[in-house]
A and B are shown apart, each in its own frame.
Chain A
Amino acid sequence: MPKLSLIIKADLLSGLRWARRHVYAWLILSPIVLGMTYLISTRVIENARDWAVPDFSLRPAAAIVVLTLIGTSLSRVAIELFGIGHPRSQFDALPVAQSVQLHAAIFIRAGRTLVLTMALLLIRQRLGGELASSIPLAAAFVALISLTELLAAITWVHWRHTQTVITAVSSLAILTPAVMIAGSLLSEIIASSHNESRLTPTSGGILAAAILYATLRQCHQRWRATDVDYAKRLLTAVKRAPLSSRLFTRRLSASAAAQLVRDLQLTLRAFSSAVYAAAGTACLLIAVEFVVINSRFFPFVFKMEGWLDLTWLPAAMAAKFACVLASATLASILPVLVGHELPHLWLERAAGTAGLDMFEAKLRYARLVSLPAPVAAWLIVLASSQIPISYAAPLLAECLFLWLLVSSFMGALAFETPERTGLSLLMMMLTGLALGLLSSFIWPIGLIIFGVASRSFTERGRMRARYLLLKGAD
């Protein structure tokens, strides 16, 4: 226990010093971002107060959210667990028991999950639910989700290392019920209409967490030392790729093109599990668009009085929403990529790279990586035959404009808080979604915003990139 407290104290002290050096981010930026999030979410909740989600769809949806959470965090959790690139990696050579290292990883993971759970509790309170009765449930959720993430990460690395079928099957056998129970707990936390006793799900969650803990401890004890080298290679892997920077040198400088090619190569080789999660979620959103269009689920009905009104056709709106959501989802890989590349920034510095080139590379990356979204969203609506053929080309133009708007503004924010991936992701998603969804309804507003604000956003992005090159992230 004293060794665990020493490790945790070192991590906390380190985090605290980071916070002290970034007072601006905490005092100015965070209240703005958190305030915007709060206002938007409370507004959505207020509007959705009378909307009851049927039980049968809430639980699977919650399980999908949990699965996405696990998928998104897989690389990061593996890095935490094996201490890759972290001073904890050297504790293996010190008289520190493996269980202490595991407990430190659980503590760190639980701390991160706690933030998400507190946000969920806040939403629950806004929906009219009682906060006190949800706390044991939330504690069980934090424990269960943290342990599930850690077990998923360790079994993922072991399976990739050994490629044994038994590892894959046994992992799935344990993780699938864990995800379902976690999904069930999540739905209990956010469902406001439920007044029944929460003792059963809480007890179930705690029991599942205890089983997961015992399994995780066994796996960690058996596999950590054998898999640590493989994990290091897996999570910092560099392989060959066929992309050439000559593809981009017509529009970009050689330096920016080289950076863009590197970024695309890293993405194609899934530098982080966030790539899988973003691609999976984008596909899911396009699938939802298909279902919505073909089931005529869309709630808006407009009276069409002219050709321009076609922009508000339910099917067209569904396509535009899907385009914005999928574009933002795909572009959200960018902050993860920037965080991943930070330790290697010495290369750009040593090579005398200009901030402008660094910014241009990231901006183009955000656009390129999200380009499939408008095309897919448009093809789905076109195939459904629910829009007049004369409107096909204008709708494609609208989708492409929405993609350009979302990806450009998200790309411009790439270097705002490069060392805080979570904050950066939140800020970019909020900006991209707010602008994109607003412009989906009234595209001329989007045109005005793009014309007025894009230049200042771009200029700010260039300055941030230049600052990062000169001063560093920390």
Chain B
Amino acid sequence: MSDWLLRVDGVTKRFGRLIAVDGVSLAIAGGEVYSLVGANGAGKSTLIRMITGISEPDSGRVFISGEDLSHRLPGTKRHLGYLPEELVLYERLTGQEYLRLVAGLKETDVGQIAGEIEYFELAAVQNKLVGEYSLGMRKKLGLAAAMIGGAELLVLDEPLNGLDVEMMRKLRERIERERNRGRAFLISSHVMSFVERVSEQVGIMKAGKIIAEGSPIELRALSGMADAQFEDVFFHLASGQGIGNSG
């Protein structure tokens, strides 16, 4: 199935006796937005760290654009843009210097930097040290770094944390625009209204497993709560009610 941009096959990760991710499988095609939702400790970030190649699964495989991530070929990561939840940046580099570093490591055209700086409204602070940035500015810088390089698959872990309403809207519009260009997104977020609005597929994680998966409309149907807030749909399904199939 080479048309999948991301394919995760039965991935498991253990920390001692704790099974953080338990045999998870999912697939994302080009032009698709897949959102992972779940309570803290459900295993979302651990799964994302394995998908981005930061840590390795104990069993199972991850394929990005058909390439097996376990082969650890740096070229595989060219298909990937990543915004981590915990942003650790060079505090004593300026925003622009940091983006230049990322562009250099991604071996991409530095000409993209100006566009991303403008889009994420960083022009006024681009020559300031990152250590002086607010949480929102740091998040915007992380988003700009993830977008640079034109990767086909973008993995965004909690992209809305620290963003103001206007930037949240801009990010949603950007995601929709990039999706229409064929880029795929894997997003982990607690903001259910955002998830419902941007996602083609939503996976609900609990105790390391995907317990429900489908489009927002399918999940509503599964929960039998057609008119409720999506947050209520999530709580209903996460509590194990109305789930016949598990991912």
Query: Counting CB contacts under 8 A, is A225 at the interface?
Result: yes
Contact A6 B90 (CB under 8 A): no
Query: Counting CB contacts under 8 A, is A352 at the interface?
Result: no
Given contacts A225-B56, A229-B15, contact A96 B105 (CB under 8 A): yes
Query: Counting CB contacts under 8 A, is B38 at the interface?
Result: no
Fill in one digit per residue for A79-102: 1 if any B CB lies within 8 Å of its CB, else 0: 000000111011111111110000
Within 64-107 of B, Cβ neighbours of A (below 8 Å) are at: 72, 74-78, 80, 82, 84, 88-93, 97, 101-102, 104-107
| Interface range for B | 20 to 34
Which secondary structure dominates chain A's binding surface? helix
Contact A6 B15 (CB under 8 A): no
Residue with the highest number of chain A CB atoms closer than 10 Å, among B46, B90, B91:
B90
Contact B84 A90 (CB under 8 A): yes
| Alpha-carbon gap, A97 to B75, bound state (A) | 9
The residue of chain A having its C-beta at the shortest distance from the C-beta of B103 within the complex is A6
Within 1-46 of A, Cβ neighbours of B (below 8 Å) are at: 2-3, 6-7, 10, 13-15, 17-18
Contact A229 B49 (CB under 8 A): yes
| Alpha-carbon gap, A2 to B105, bound state (A) | 9
Which secondary structure dominates chain B's binding surface? mixed
Given contacts A85-B88, A93-B84, contact A225 B131 (CB under 8 A): no
Chain B residues with CB below 8 A from A14, complex form: 90-93
| B positions within 8 Å CB-CB of A | 13, 15, 46, 49, 52-56, 72, 74-78, 80, 82, 84, 88-93, 97, 101-102, 104-107, 129, 131, 155
Please pick, from B52, B88, B89, the residue contacting A92 in the complex, using a CB distance under 8 A.
B52
Contact A226 B88 (CB under 8 A): no
Contact A2 B104 (CB under 8 A): yes
| Alpha-carbon gap, A92 to B80, bound state (A) | 11
Known contacts A3-B104, A14-B91, A221-B72; 8 further A-B pairs (Cβ under 8 A): A13-B97, A15-B92, A17-B129, A89-B54, A89-B88, A93-B80, A94-B77, A95-B107
Chain A residues with CB below 8 A from B104, complex form: 2-3, 6
Contact B54 A3 (CB under 8 A): no
- What are the 4 closest A-B residue pairs judged by CB atoms, nearest first? A225-B56, A93-B82, A93-B52, A95-B77
| Alpha-carbon gap, A274 to B53, bound state (A) | 31
Query: Counting CB contacts under 8 A, is A474 at the interface?
Result: yes
Contact B105 A6 (CB under 8 A): yes
- Shortest distance between the CB of B224 and any CB in chain A (Å): 39
Chain A residues with CB below 8 A from B77, complex form: 93-96
Query: Counting CB contacts under 8 A, is A228 at the interface?
Result: yes
Please pick, from B72, B84, B91, B129, the residue contacting A225 in the complex, using a CB distance under 8 A.
B72
Chain A residues with CB below 8 A from B75, complex form: 95
Given contacts A6-B105, A94-B102, contact A228 B91 (CB under 8 A): no
Chain B residues with CB below 8 A from A92, complex form: 52-54
Fill in one digit per residue for A194-228: 1 if any B CB lies within 8 Å of its CB, else 0: 00000000000000000000000000010001101
